[in-house]
């Protein structure tokens, strides 16, 4: 069978998906001729980023040492600088388009190779995505060998369904638009009559059959950015799931020893494959459950900070702390690790609830001392009488170096904001509100966010799936917060608002305990020194900002055009361009955010607890980013 896409055609396809920053950084070589196309893109970029404000746009260009004349060269036709070193996603593209054993629509409907199509969680146009997920699953089997069999079929179904849901999120607007066009044009049926039996078949079935028959060629040629993003998702998923299974196989003996009293945990029977945001190439936290009932958590990052933190909690428990803490067991490996699962458990009685909130006050004190941030409702688990912090990467936040404005009034606001930020409110445990675009407030805090504080947001509700009249409506719904941060008795969750005195009591007693032990803790031979040199995360902006920009970028018009798509991602530079003070030193950080977002990741910015520098990819360092390191503040 002749290949649909040759190697040369793959390179041509890649060149037509070049993003803005790849052109600026020299990954692609521009032609020397500019014209109307370049002028049009330049105007569009100025409109998207600066809403036509020339001064604002010029400042943005200055971050990359660009002028408008230089930019025009980059906005025309370009060629790959290195044709021998192609991105991983391009090999997935070849495998998709050149796949010989194309699945037929009738086979999918009859249940062939569609185990991940879950009737209880239907996905619009899900049949279209089946060959993509099958290809990804086959690649995982090849890469993992016997490790693949550590998990039962249901686990692989959950992994594959999660991948399909991610593909659907990127594709659905473009696919729905293409179906709407197909559904409204009777000539399509006539064309398909030549090679598909259309008798008694609806347009939906014919549309899916058409998509499957040419291995997505029409869709990918029309929406080149979509093709790149889908192939990036699949490539990352293959690497990450394979890596997880191989690591599980290697570490299973120690997992048995540390978490299961030396007994074999049995087969992996259940996972939640997307507990966290995507970071560093689509990596996500995974919760695991084995046949024996053992539950643990896989975290694809260094866990030395978490191990040191829980070691400190154990020391407190052995040295007369007012309220003991729950300390989780950890296996730390290079770049990943395994953590004991913190179950959401009930309190036995009213006194148990009081103890929970006293411990919450003690935890608030400890996290305040450790200059911790981002302890929102999803990072706290109410495990019986114990509030457990399950994400510790924002311990020891450094004191970020700000530039004060010369105007006195703004200086006052700066000092007031800094004073507020340096208080217990920094932790995120106490009530704090975020706002939707229509200015609706919702509480996201670790203690204050109760079931009735869920964010109101727009959700697409799909109706008439798998029919010609498939459509969606937008509805306003309240997010299900699960309430895992709330203690409960039987089925009743207990709000913190009646237990403020208990929270204060726990805080005061822990504060006095820390003062009593301060001299010992600060001596050089205690475990506090182990907090030096630990990797910590810096939250530069609200995570939902990245989600909003990505959500806008899946508009079909953006998915057709890589320059428009990446100009939309470049919106991350707008806030920096609008600041009136010197901000050049922050540009590498924002550029890292842009690159991460183009990989569909939530940017994860990091540094070391005892350093005043911020570190980005490829060892890029922003020196003196902090006035004082997190460890020195501690």
Above 50 in pLDDT, residue 190? Answer: no
31 confidence band (pLDDT: 50, 70, 90): confident
Above 50 in pLDDT, residue 338? Answer: yes
Residue 136 makes CB contacts below 8 A (sequence gap 6+) with: 160, 163, 234, 237, 238
Least confident of 87-96, 195-204, 478-487: 195-204
Write down the pLDDT at residue 403. Answer: 57
Above 80 in pLDDT, residue 113? Answer: no
Which tens digit of pLDDT belongs to each residue from 147-164? 999 999 999 999 999 999
Which tens digit of pLDDT belongs to each residue from 268-286? 999 999 889 999 999 999 9
Reduce the secondary structure of 271-295 to three states and give it as a string. EECCCCCCECCCECCEEEEECCCCE
Burial class, 337, CB count within 10 angstroms (exposed 0-12 / middle 13-18 / buried 19+): buried
Residue 265 makes CB contacts below 8 A (sequence gap 6+) with: 252, 255, 256, 259, 290, 291, 292, 294
User: Please, what sign has the CA dihedral across residues 122, 125, 127, 128?
Assistant: negative
257 confidence band (pLDDT: 50, 70, 90): very high
Write down the pLDDT at residue 194. Answer: 42
* Residues 391, 388: Cα–Cα separation, whole Å: 9
Tokens of 191: 């064309």
* Residues 111, 106: Cα–Cα separation, whole Å: 9
Write down the pLDDT at residue 451. Answer: 61
Q: pTM of this prediction?
A: 0.93
What average pLDDT does range 201-227 have in this prediction? 91
Which tens digit of pLDDT belongs to each residue from 457-490? 677 889 999 999 999 988 777 666 568 999 999 9
* Residues 70, 74: Cα–Cα separation, whole Å: 7
* Residues 396, 191: Cα–Cα separation, whole Å: 64
Closest CA to 226 of 589, 545, 559, 515: 559
What average pLDDT does range 411-434 have in this prediction? 82
What average pLDDT does range 224-247 have in this prediction? 97
Least confident of 303-312, 431-440, 446-455, 523-532: 446-455
Write down the pLDDT at residue 410. Answer: 60
Which tens digit of pLDDT belongs to each residue from 355-412? 999 999 999 999 999 999 989 888 999 999 999 999 999 999 988 876 555 555 566 7
146 confidence band (pLDDT: 50, 70, 90): very high
What average pLDDT does range 232-236 have in this prediction? 97
Write down the pLDDT at residue 195. Answer: 42
CB 66 within 8 A of CB 19: no
Least confident of 121-135, 426-440, 501-515, 615-629: 426-440
């Amino acid at each position: 069978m002749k290949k649909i896409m040759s190697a040369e055609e793959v390179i041509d396809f890649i060149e037509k998906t070049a993003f803005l920053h790849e052109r600026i950084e020299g990954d692609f070589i521009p032609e020397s001729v500019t014209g109307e196309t370049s002028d049009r893109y330049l105007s569009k970029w100025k409109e998207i980023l600066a809403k036509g404000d020339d001064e604002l746009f010029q400042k943005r260009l200055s971050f990359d040492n660009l002028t408008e004349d230089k930019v025009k060269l980059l906005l025309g036709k370009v060629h790959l600088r290195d044709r021998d070193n192609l991105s991983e996603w391009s090999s997935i593209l070849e495998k998709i388009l050149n796949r010989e054993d194309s699945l037929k629509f009738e086979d999918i409907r009859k249940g062939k190779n569609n185990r991940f199509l879950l009737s209880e969680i239907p996905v619009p146009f899900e049949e279209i995505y089946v060959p993509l997920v099958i290809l990804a699953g086959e690649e995982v089997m090849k890469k993992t060998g016997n490790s693949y069999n550590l998990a039962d079929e249901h686990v692989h179904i959950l992994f594959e369904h999660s991948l399909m849901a991610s593909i659907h999120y990127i594709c659905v607007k473009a696919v729905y638009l293409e179906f709407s066009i197909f559904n409204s044009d009777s000539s399509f049926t006539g064309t398909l009559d030549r090679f598909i039996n259309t008798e008694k078949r609806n347009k939906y079935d014919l549309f899916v059959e058409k998509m499957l028959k040419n291995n997505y060629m029409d869709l990918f040629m029309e929406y080149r950015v979509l093709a790149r993003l889908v192939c990036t998702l699949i490539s990352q998923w293959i690497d990450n799931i394979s890596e997880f299974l191989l690591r599980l196989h290697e570490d299973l003996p120690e997992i048995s020893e540390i978490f299961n009293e030396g007994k074999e945990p049995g087969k992996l029977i259940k996972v939640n494959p997307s507990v966290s945001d995507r970071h560093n190439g689509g990596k996500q936290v995974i919760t695991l459950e084995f046949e024996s009932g053992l539950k643990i958590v896989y975290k694809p990052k260094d866990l030395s900070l978490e191990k040191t933190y829980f070691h400190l909690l154990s020391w407190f428990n052995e040295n007369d702390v007012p309220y003991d803490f729950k300390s989780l067991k950890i296996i730390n490996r290079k770049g990943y690790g395994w953590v004991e699962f913190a179950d959401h458990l009930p309190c036995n009685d009213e006194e148990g609830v009081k103890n929970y909130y006293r411990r919450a006050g003690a935890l608030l004190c400890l996290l305040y001392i450790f200059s911790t941030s981002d302890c929102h409702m999803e990072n706290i688990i109410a495990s019986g009488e114990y509030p457990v912090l399950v994400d510790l990467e924002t311990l020891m936040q450094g004191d970020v170096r700000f530039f004060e404005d010369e105007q006195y009034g703004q200086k006052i606001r700066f000092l007031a904001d800094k004073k507020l930020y340096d208080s217990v409110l920094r932790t995120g445990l106490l009530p704090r509100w975020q706002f939707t675009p229509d200015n609706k407030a919702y509480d996201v805090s670790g203690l204050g966010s109760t079931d009735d504080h869920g964010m109101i947001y727009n959700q697409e509700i799909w109706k008439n799936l798998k029919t010609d009249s498939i459509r969606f409506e937008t509805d306003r719904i309240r997010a299900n917060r699960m309430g895992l941060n709330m203690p409960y008795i039987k089925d009743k969750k207990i709000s913190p608002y009646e237990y403020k005195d208990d929270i204060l009591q726990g805080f005061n007693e822990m504060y006095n305990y820390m003062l009593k032990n301060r001299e010992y803790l600060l001596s050089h031979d205690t475990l506090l020194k182990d907090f030096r040199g630990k990797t910590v995360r810096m939250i530069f902006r609200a995570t939902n900002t990245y989600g909003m920009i990505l959500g806008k970028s899946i508009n079909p018009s953006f998915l057709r055009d890589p320059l428009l798509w990446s100009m939309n991602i470049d919106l991350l530079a707008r806030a920096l361009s609008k600041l009136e003070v010197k901000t050049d030193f922050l540009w590498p950080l924002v550029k890292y955010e842009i690159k991460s977002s183009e990989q569909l990741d939530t940017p994860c910015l990091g540094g070391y607890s005892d350093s005043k520098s911020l570190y980005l990819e490829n060892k890029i360092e922003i020196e003196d980013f902090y006035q004082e390191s997190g460890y020195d503040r501690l």
